[in-house]
Structure 1
Amino acid sequence: MVAPPVDMAAWNATVEKARGQTVFLNAWGGSPKINAYWDWVAATVRERYGVELRHVKINDISQAVTRILTEKTAGRADGGSVDLVWLNGGNFAIMKASGLLYGPFTNRLPNMRLVDTRGKPTLVDFTVPVEGLEAPFSVTQFVMVYDTLNLPVPPRSVGTLLEWAKANPGRLTYPQPPNSLGITFLKQVLLARQSDWSSLMQPATDENEGLVLEPLWSFLDTLHPLLWRQGKEFPASGADLRRLLNDGDITLSMAFNPLEAASSIESGLLPPSSRVYTFEEGTIGNANFLAIPFNASAKEGALVVINFLLTPEAQARKQDPRYWGADTVLAWKKLTQGEKDLFRGIPQHPAAPLPDELAKPLPEPHPSWTDRIEKGWHRRYAAG
């Protein structure tokens, strides 16, 4: 089904109304490189559209969701403190179910026509239909990270990972939940240990939780004594995990970005011999999105910023490991030759995998499983 053309007269009116607005973007602020990208976006939209973009750096998007929910409860139907939010998964599901989102709006964006809505997960967010309430921003996939000088032949499946850990005790770990990378690793294990994913694609229930999650707990019971510090301590974040790999404290790491090694090498955070790979059975992949709260103060400005972020210019810069290293949501066949040249101009980093080197992306379980996995993990393992 082909989407109807955008009403350009209405869009031009939106652009004009956005001029002079200040857009408060709530987004993770833990990466200097990503923060520098937002600075570039802010400078560009200020110059071209007269929109002021302010990056509100937060540790967890749930902080912004809670603030928006509090404003709705207090009856603050407009003049909200958040204009734009970078999110996916459970946070989107909560905002959608709670009526915290403005829209649908993606049908108003001229550059939405460039988005790949068939080959990439841009219309569904952790099994929850997007329905125009958020615009896709990046696609990503879970990968393992290693130094080829220290580990010439890494384990290529979840099953062989356990065997490798037995032969190399103390050389593997993962971030502690609720860190999203740690949770993703647990979901990756769960998918690998389950022959039937149907329950995982539906909301979790008290009745099926025990049966569905038991293969995960059984795997972790065996794995944890083999981990760094015997599974009694866990790194807090992906950055901490990367530091352990760089320092030689572990031999095998993980990330939720196929360009993690390339980007980290460019930033001096990993040695040049670092590489990534996916498990043979596939690894979890998803998209992240940009949404506008129902009570945003600068809705037009937010729309203009999102539309700019969907330009080939902004998407190509984001994909370049020198500036970020996050894969585009755009469809190659929808781009002009000049637009394709923006992506061709990105230097091919030796640590950046080619598309055919990555196994197929696996679907994210329903977001309700994240909460069940996190709480079950803390009951069983948080005390070491």
Structure 2
Amino acid sequence: MIKSLAAASITAALAFSSLPAQADWQDTLQEAKGQTVYFNAWGGADNINDYIQWAADRIKNEYDVTLKHIKLADTSDAVNRVLAEKTAGKHKKGSIDLIWLNGENFRAMKDNQLLFGPFSQSLPNYIKYVDESARQSITQDFGTNVDGMESPWGMAQVIFMHDTETLKNPPKSMPELLAYAKANPGRVTYSEPPQHLGVTFLKQALYELTSNRDALSQPVSNVDFYAVTAPLWSYLDELNKVAWRSGQNFPSSSEEMMRLLDDQEIDIALSFDISAASVQIDQGNLPDTVRSYIFDQGTIGNTHFLAIPYNSSASAGAQVVANFLLSPEAQIRKQMPTIWGDLSVLSYKKLSKADQAKFDALPRGIATLSIAELGETLPEPHSSWVEALETEWRKRYAK
């Protein structure tokens, strides 16, 4: 009897404690009605732009919130705009309501107090479906504590692509890649830093080549940058000489690398999207003989997020958008390889049986690796390494 009373008391307490949160969310939904959310997000891939438009249509119909996609070439442009507004004293009615970001852009916004929140841990779908203990990158964004100031949206991991008709056994490490490039001049390249995939290529090489991996998890100011990175520059000195266009020019993006692969100008392309090859094959932009693979020691992976600027004109609407994008419906569609193929941030164990079945039924796509095939995910270095690496690269190699 005592146990029953105790259990009943606990149940009642839990139910009571959830009431304020539910009431607060209803207030947020009511405030969001009629708002327009200006969503600043990279606009360089048609399939991602189409997905955002699908979400905008669903959000308008269900919540009466208008989502406007402001397409960016570089996320730092949006961060700089919020900073400029703060400097000018525009603390209300800012021009940006939601930003797709991670890494150094998040750290810059957090350090400069440009963020609204904390908000993510109060979103109903975050509470219901996200498991913070499942992956460190949910709570630490490139070494910076998230602290509820951004909402996870998806996960990514570096993959390599090759055409099996022309390259049967691709190189599966940085040393093997250099050896292949020397034996096949002009057939290997990487996107130009500061483009994010280009910087990630530098980080991937550094992980494999440095003798001091532990230094990468620390702020770059705390370590001897030149001693840690010396093997990287020696490697690139050799690679660039035999790279595509003799290292005098570099592709601007993963999309350009895939075009070069399709045109048979290069033999290996990179992407941070595990379904990129399948999507491009489905759209007729790559031959169906292209396949994805990763290096033997694993490749770098991370989580990307949504953040709300501190001076957003529609913070309630932005929370509604972030919450919808964490719904099983939105995450299932996002993981479809012919739509985006982005890995879900939801905990499979927290999903209903019906939603688990929908995830289980997702086609992988002809060139999409399974979770098991992705192997080890290497953690991102501390976000301060990004600027240091791209600055040094440009000093040495930019034309």
Pairs within 5 Å for 1:1-384: 7-113=21-127, 114-120=129-135, 121-205=137-221, 208-383=224-399
1:327 maps to amino acid: L
The CA deviation string for residues 308-338 of structure 1, in whole angstroms up to 9 with x for no partner, is: 0000100011111221121110111110111
The CA deviation string for residues 165-217 of structure 1, in whole angstroms up to 9 with x for no partner, is: 12222111011111111110011000101232222111112861211111110
- Decide which structure has greater helix share: 2
The CA deviation string for residues 210-241 of structure 1, in whole angstroms up to 9 with x for no partner, is: 11111110110111111111111111121111
d(CA) in 2 for partners of 1:5 and 1:237? Answer: 47
SS in 1 for 2:48: helix
d(CA) in 2 for partners of 1:242 and 1:281? Answer: 23
Percent of aligned pairs sharing the same letter: 46
TM-score normalised by L of structure 2: 0.93
1:90 maps to amino acid: E
SS in 2 for 1:198: helix
Select between 296-305 and 160-169 the one with higher mean Cα deviation.
Answer: 160-169
In the alignment, which residue of structure 1 is the partner of 2:11?
Answer: none
Does structure 2 retain, via aligned residues, the 8 Å contact 1:6–1:108? no
d(CA) in 1 for partners of 2:382 and 2:329? Answer: 33
Structure 2: runs of 5+ lacking an equivalent: 1-16
d(CA) in 2 for partners of 1:232 and 1:86? Answer: 32
Does structure 2 retain, via aligned residues, the 8 Å contact 1:137–1:329? yes
d(CA) in 2 for partners of 1:37 and 1:348? Answer: 18
Residue 102 (structure 1) shift: 0.4
Aligned length: 381
2:339 maps to amino acid: Y
Does structure 2 retain, via aligned residues, the 8 Å contact 1:6–1:107? no
d(CA) in 2 for partners of 1:382 and 1:28? Answer: 24
RMSD, aligned α-carbons: 1.5
d(CA) in 2 for partners of 1:6 and 1:61? Answer: 35
Residue 150 (structure 1) shift: 1.1
Q: 1:369 to 1:348 in 2, by over 3 A?
A: closer
Q: 1:150 to 1:130 in 2, by over 3 A?
A: same
In the alignment, which residue of structure 1 is the partner of 2:8?
Answer: none
d(CA) in 1 for partners of 2:145 and 2:223? Answer: 25
SS in 2 for 1:7: helix
d(CA) in 2 for partners of 1:5 and 1:139? Answer: 32
1:96 maps to amino acid: K
Does structure 1 retain, via aligned residues, the 8 Å contact 2:154–2:305? yes
> Which structure has the larger Rg over C-alpha atoms?
2
Residue 374 (structure 1) shift: 0.8
1:311 maps to amino acid: S
Structure 1: runs of 5+ lacking an equivalent: none
